[in-house]
Amino acid sequence: MRVTGAAAISRRYFVMNAFDGALAALGVIVGAWSSGPIQPRFIVGAGLGMSLAMGISGFAGAYLTERAERLRRLRELERSLLVNLDSSIHGRAFRTVVLWTALVDAMSPALTALASISPFIMLSHGLVSADQAVFISITTILITIFSLGAFTGKVSKENVFISGIRMLSVGLITAFLVSILAR
């Protein structure tokens, strides 16, 4: 991981895709809530489908894209050195980083979306009311979005609170637009 500088790209993939998962889940939940009576089975089904699709898409897209970029760099280095680097530390690092970034890209939106719909799983088992499930889910999503923004503020050494509010604003605007369009 040190050889390739994968920490920065993993961080970016994590934040961008967790944000995508949170906003997608917010769209499903606010859209369902705005459209009429809550049907937990539909929200859970749509949420699971969305989580799976985002996970597969994230893994495949990141794997293929990172592989192409990293392979290009590895081949350029090989041409410069006039040696095959497949079994070297660079070759091993290439394979590790491609797999790692694909896993981060896949897991961050899928887990965020799954966490966001979990109150509706509780609702389907009678553990919370529909209103409580909506409240818990939307609150969880908004806290997640704010936290991702605060994290980006920490990374950029900016005001953590302001960065969190910036990202939270996108979530609130999204929820507002979905609630208007879903009626």
Spacing of C-alpha 75 from chain mean position: 31
Burial class (CB in 10 A: 0-12, 13-18, 19+), 36: exposed
C-alpha to C-alpha distance for 40 and 44, rounded to whole angstroms: 6
Position 95 scores a pLDDT of 87
- This prediction has a pTM of 0.87
pLDDT (tens digit, 0 to 9) for every residue of the chain, 183 residues total?
A: 666 777 888 888 999 999 999 999 999 999 999 998 989 999 999 999 999 999 999 999 999 998 998 899 889 988 998 888 888 888 888 888 999 999 999 999 999 999 999 999 999 999 999 999 999 999 999 999 999 999 999 999 999 999 999 999 999 999 999 999 998
Position 85 scores a pLDDT of 82
Provide the token pair at 61: 């897209």
Going 152 to 163 to 170 to 113, the CA torsion angle's sign is: positive
Position 5 scores a pLDDT of 73
DSSP 38: -
